[in-house]
């Protein structure tokens, strides 16, 4: 089974992704992660304005199989959370890199992204 | 009897009661009749209603309603219930009779002098459990196994604090019950997870690397959740004690050790007893539970208040241990549950309890030897863990179709698609054969048969995803 791993995103070993947008950086979990978890039934996200350091737990994803912590790939301030997930957690399964995004971060040091995995390295990790 | 089937290895035919074919179940009493009755009350109008919906049904209709519900259910009185780690043994009915005895119905606020019989019984139960576990003192207060864990950890913390010894970590092996991690975290400790070795046991070198002067406690289940006895237990105890830590015994699997081995003799300092598992009191859900803990003499002064003891003149009293951690339950705990455990222990006696464990171990090993699924570890104590070659949850649902309760699934995680099976001592050989036949029938079926199961039960496959995403937590939701 192959999983989608967009080239322009950066990844963590704990299966989060981060991508630059016009306003900041979006964060979510990968296609591989959502497939491993199975049907996601609940997502807990931080409050807007919260400051995260890279590696901080910022929320929880609950599926019918497991409950998993999710970690900030880079440091930053939470500018927005995807409130659609509170009513429709299945968006993470259906569209992990799009409608299933979780956080929008600002105040991100772009250099921190260099320390993350690129698409090839992440793909190799999931094989 | 009905066991004379042509082919003994074929599972028994099974079909659970089902009263409607359209997916609906037995209607609620309020759906069968909607009689409204007027009510009058002397209470203020804004606190009362003028009428109430009270179903008016003839007694036989009500009796049939509850009989139907019971027929749509599955319990230990329906057939084998080998839910691993839960010890779903049959609880003998005489313990209910004893608990229902008029002499046992006593108000908890009576003075000690007025309830000497109660205190005597509890004192003797403390002594019996201490003797079974090899402990010096027992408190009966904690209301369940996990509450016992929490109490035990608080006792350990009080002990370390009394020694001005500030420790921050509790070590828990990866095969441990989830409650161990949770109890340690709730008591404010950092949890250090210890990986098992290839054998499924604690590896001494890994333990030596994990202990430090931060180690408050090692929590261990022995035999562990794979049903394996920790052979190096005395060395494990030495490693922890040499580092200044204490050893906690999770009594979940005590059903395999009665009269054979005692946690106290292995070096454990604290243990809990799951009375609902080993000593045949009600299981959770219907509870209430009771999870006494035992400790070695050095820890006795930290046990919760009150404790019970015999005075020099042969009477009994409650007292507060010198440095007690406070109360963990009101009054004397769930007293009637304790009466049942006491009755169970007395009826069995030393020899009977030893026989319980012998049969529990024999039954687990017999079923393990009869099934076609791979069983990666062993030999076992009271339970074994098989590895399904399919989704263990689907296997479990298909086993329902063969008239047995499935084992615990997907845990412990160190076995792939785990089927954790604990037949207990209360099954006969022919029932164990039924269980093995159900395992083997499912093992021979393809994925489609498993994925569509169950097909012969009252409730068919439950939509867990929708249930979790759109929970309806009130009966009012049924109206929607």
Which residues of A have a CB under 8 Å from any CB of B?
39, 41-42, 62, 64-65, 89-90
Q: What is the pLDDT of residues B82-111, one digit of tens each?
A: 999 999 999 999 999 999 999 899 998 999
Q: What is the dihedral of CA B383, B389, B393, B395, to 10 degrees?
A: -80
Q: What is the pLDDT of residues B413-423, one digit of tens each?
A: 889 999 999 99
Q: Is B93 near chain A, with CB under 8 Å?
A: no
Number of domains in chain B: 1
| Residues of chain B neighbouring A62 (CB-CB closer than 8 A) | 468
Question: For residues A85-107, b (16+ Cβ closer than 10 Å) or e, as one string?
Answer: beebbbbbbeebbeebbbbbbee
Ranges of residues in chain A with a pLDDT under 70 are: 1
pLDDT of residue B1: 41
Residue B461 vs residues B167, B290, B401: alpha-carbon distances, Å: 48, 34, 11
Whether B116 is covered by a domain: the verdict is: yes
pLDDT of residue B10: 74
Whether B455 is covered by a domain: the verdict is: no
Residue B159 vs residues A56, B163, B296: alpha-carbon distances, Å: 34, 7, 12
Distance from CA of B461 to the nearest CA of A (A): 15
User: 3-state secondary structure string, chain A?
Assistant: CCCCCCCCCEECCCCEEEEECCCCEEEEECHHHHHHHCCEEEEECCCCCCEECCCCEEEEEEECCCEEEEECCCCEEEEEECCHHHHCCHHHHHCCCCCCCCEEEECCCHHHHHHCECHHHHHHHHC
Distance, C-alpha B60 to centroid of its chain? 36
Whether B430 is covered by a domain: the verdict is: no
Q: Is the peptide bond before B320 cis (omega within 30 degrees of 0)?
A: no
State the average pLDDT over residues B334-354. 97
| Residues of chain B neighbouring A65 (CB-CB closer than 8 A) | 410
Residue B98: which domain range? 94-346
Q: Is B470 near chain A, with CB under 8 Å?
A: no
What confidence category does residue B470 fall into, taking pLDDT thresholds of 50, 70 and 90?
confident
| Residues of chain A neighbouring B413 (CB-CB closer than 8 A) | none
**What is the spatial distance between Cα A41 and Cα B182, in angstroms, rounded to a whole number?**
22
Residue B346 vs residues A126, B87, B171, B291: alpha-carbon distances, Å: 57, 20, 36, 18
Residue of chain B with shortest Cα separation from A62 = B468
State the average pLDDT over residues B145-165. 97
pLDDT of residue B2: 45
Whether A15 is covered by a domain: the verdict is: yes
Q: Residue B37 gets which letter from DSSP?
A: E
Whether A126 is covered by a domain: the verdict is: no
pLDDT of residue B127: 97
Whether A120 is covered by a domain: the verdict is: no
Residue A62: which domain range? 10-113
Distance from CA of A41 to the nearest CA of B (A): 5
Q: What is the pLDDT of residues B165-207, one digit of tens each?
A: 999 999 999 888 889 999 999 999 999 999 988 888 999 999 9
Check residue B267 and give left, alpha or beta (phi > 0: left; psi -120 to 50: alpha): left
Selected for mutation to probe chain B from A36, A39, A63, A88 (highest B CB count within 10 Å) is A39
Checking if the pLDDT of B4 tops 60, the result is: no
Whether A69 is covered by a domain: the verdict is: yes
Helix ranges (DSSP H) in B377-446: 392-400, 429-443
Q: Are B153 and B183 in contact (CB under 8 A)?
A: yes
Chain B 429-468, residues with CB within 8 Å of chain A CB atoms: 464-465, 468
Q: Are B186 and B151 in contact (CB under 8 A)?
A: no
**A42·B468 Cβ contact <8 A:** yes
Complex-level ipTM: 0.74
**What is the spatial distance between Cα B189 and Cα B465, in angstroms, rounded to a whole number?**
34
Whether B415 is covered by a domain: the verdict is: no
**B465·A39 Cβ contact <8 A:** yes
Whether B223 is covered by a domain: the verdict is: yes
**Facing residues of B38 across strands?**
B51
pLDDT averaged over chain B?
92
Residue of chain A with shortest Cα separation from B410 = A65
Whether A121 is covered by a domain: the verdict is: no
Residue of chain B with shortest Cα separation from A89 = B469
Whether B266 is covered by a domain: the verdict is: yes
Q: What is the pLDDT of residues B351-402, one digit of tens each?
A: 999 999 999 999 999 999 999 999 998 888 999 999 998 999 999 999 999 9
CB atoms near residue B42 (< 10 Å): 5
Size of interface A-B (CB pairs under 8 A): 15
Distance from CA of B343 to the nearest CA of A (A): 40
State the average pLDDT over residues B65-73. 92
pLDDT of residue B53: 85
Checking if the pLDDT of B136 tops 50, the result is: yes
Cβ neighbors of B377 (< 8 A, separation 6 or more) are: B199, B200, B226, B227, B228, B384, B385, B415
Strands, E assignment, B143-269:
169-173, 190-194, 215-220, 246-249
3-class state of residue B230 by DSSP: coil
Number of domains in chain A: 1
Residue A41 vs residues A62, A64, A92: alpha-carbon distances, Å: 6, 7, 10
Residue B413 vs residues B173, B223, B395, B419: alpha-carbon distances, Å: 12, 17, 16, 10
Check residue B45 and give left, alpha or beta (phi > 0: left; psi -120 to 50: alpha): alpha
Selected for mutation to probe chain B from A39, A41, A88 (highest B CB count within 10 Å) is A41
3-class state of residue B271 by DSSP: strand
Q: Are A15 and A29 in contact (CB under 8 A)?
A: yes
Whether B279 is covered by a domain: the verdict is: yes
Cβ neighbors of B315 (< 8 A, separation 6 or more) are: B113, B116
Whether B385 is covered by a domain: the verdict is: no
Whether A89 is covered by a domain: the verdict is: yes
Whether A118 is covered by a domain: the verdict is: no
Checking if the pLDDT of B233 tops 70, the result is: yes
Whichever domain contains A47, its CATH number is 2.40.50.100
Angle at alpha carbon of residue B156, lines to B154 and B157, rounded to 5°: 65
Distance from CA of B466 to the nearest CA of A (A): 8
Distance from CA of B479 to the nearest CA of A (A): 22
pLDDT of residue A76: 96
Q: Is the peptide bond before B394 cis (omega within 30 degrees of 0)?
A: no
Distance from CA of B469 to the nearest CA of A (A): 5
Checking if the pLDDT of B480 tops 70, the result is: no
Whichever domain contains B183, its CATH number is 3.40.640.10
Checking if the pLDDT of B147 tops 90, the result is: yes
**What is the spatial distance between Cα B259 and Cα B280, in angstroms, rounded to a whole number?**
17
3-class state of residue B72 by DSSP: coil
What confidence category does residue B39 fall into, taking pLDDT thresholds of 50, 70 and 90?
confident
Q: Residue B413 gets which letter from DSSP?
A: T
């Amino acid at each position: 089974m192959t999983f989608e791993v967009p080239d322009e995103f950066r990844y963590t070993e704990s299966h989060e992704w981060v991508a630059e947008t016009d306003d900041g950086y979006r964060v979510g979990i990968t296609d591989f992660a959502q497939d491993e978890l199975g049907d996601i039934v609940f997502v807990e996200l931080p409050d807007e304005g919260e400051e995260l350091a890279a590696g901080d737990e910022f929320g929880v994803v609950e599926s019918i199989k497991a409950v998993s912590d999710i970690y900030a790939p880079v440091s930053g301030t939470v500018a927005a959370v995807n409130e659609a997930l509170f009513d429709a957690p299945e968006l993470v399964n259906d569209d992990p890199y799009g409608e299933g995004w979780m956080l929008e971060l600002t105040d991100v040091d772009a250099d921190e992204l260099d320390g993350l995995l690129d698409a090839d390295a992440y793909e190799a990790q999931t094989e | 009897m009905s066991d004379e089937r042509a082919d003994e290895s074929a599972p028994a035919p099974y079909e659970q009661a089902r009263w409607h074919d359209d997916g609906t179940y037995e209607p609620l009493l309020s759906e069968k009749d909607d009689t409204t009755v007027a009510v009058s009350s002397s209470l203020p109008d804004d606190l009362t209603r003028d009428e109430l919906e009270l179903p008016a049904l003839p007694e036989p209709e009500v009796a049939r309603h509850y009989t139907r519900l019971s027929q749509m259910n599955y319990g230990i009185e329906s057939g084998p219930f080998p839910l691993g780690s839960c010890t779903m043994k049959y609880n003998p009915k005489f313990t209910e009779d004893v608990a229902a005895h008029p002499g046992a119905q006593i108000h908890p606020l009576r003075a000690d002098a007025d309830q000497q019989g109660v205190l005597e019984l509890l004192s003797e139960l403390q002594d019996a459990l201490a003797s079974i576990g090899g402990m010096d003192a027992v408190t009966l207060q904690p209301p369940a196994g996990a509450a016992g864990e929490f109490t035990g950890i608080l006792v350990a913390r009080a002990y370390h604090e009394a020694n001005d010894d500030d420790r921050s970590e509790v070590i828990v092996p990866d095969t441990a019950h989830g409650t161990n991690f949770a109890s340690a975290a709730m008591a404010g400790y950092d949890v250090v997870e210890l990986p098992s070795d290839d054998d499924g046991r604690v590896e001494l070198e890994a333990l030596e690397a994990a202990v430090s002067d931060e180690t408050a406690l090692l929590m261990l289940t022995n035999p562990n959740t794979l049903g394996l006895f920790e052979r190096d237990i005395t060395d494990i105890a030495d490693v922890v004690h040499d580092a200044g830590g204490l050893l906690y015994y999770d009594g979940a699997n005590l059903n395999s050790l009665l009269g054979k081995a005692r946690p106290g003799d292995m070096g454990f300092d604290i243990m809990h007893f799951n009375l609902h598992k080993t000593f045949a009191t009600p299981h959770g859900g219907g509870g209430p539970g009771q999870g006494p803990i035992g400790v070695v003499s050095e820890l006795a002064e930290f046990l919760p208040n009150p404790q019970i003891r015999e005075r020099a003149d042969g009477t009994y009293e409650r007292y507060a241990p010198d440095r007690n951690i406070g109360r963990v339950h009101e009054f004397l705990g769930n007293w009637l549950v304790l009466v049942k455990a006491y009755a169970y222990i007395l009826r069995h006696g030393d020899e009977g309890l030893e026989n319980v464990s012998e049969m529990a171990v024999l039954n687990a090993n017999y079923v393990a030897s009869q099934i076609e699924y791979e069983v990666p570890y062993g030999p076992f104590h009271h339970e074994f863990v098989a590895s399904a070659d399919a989704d263990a949850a689907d296997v479990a649902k298909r086993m329902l179709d063969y008239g047995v309760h499935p084992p615990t699934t997907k845990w412990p995680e160190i076995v792939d698609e785990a089927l954790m099976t604990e037949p207990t001592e209360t099954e006969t050989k022919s029932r164990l054969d039924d269980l093995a036949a159900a395992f083997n029938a499912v093992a021979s079926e393809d994925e489609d048969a498993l994925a569509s199961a169950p097909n012969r039960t009252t409730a068919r496959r439950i939509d867990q995803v929708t249930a979790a995403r759109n929970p309806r937590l009130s009966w009012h939701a049924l109206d929607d």
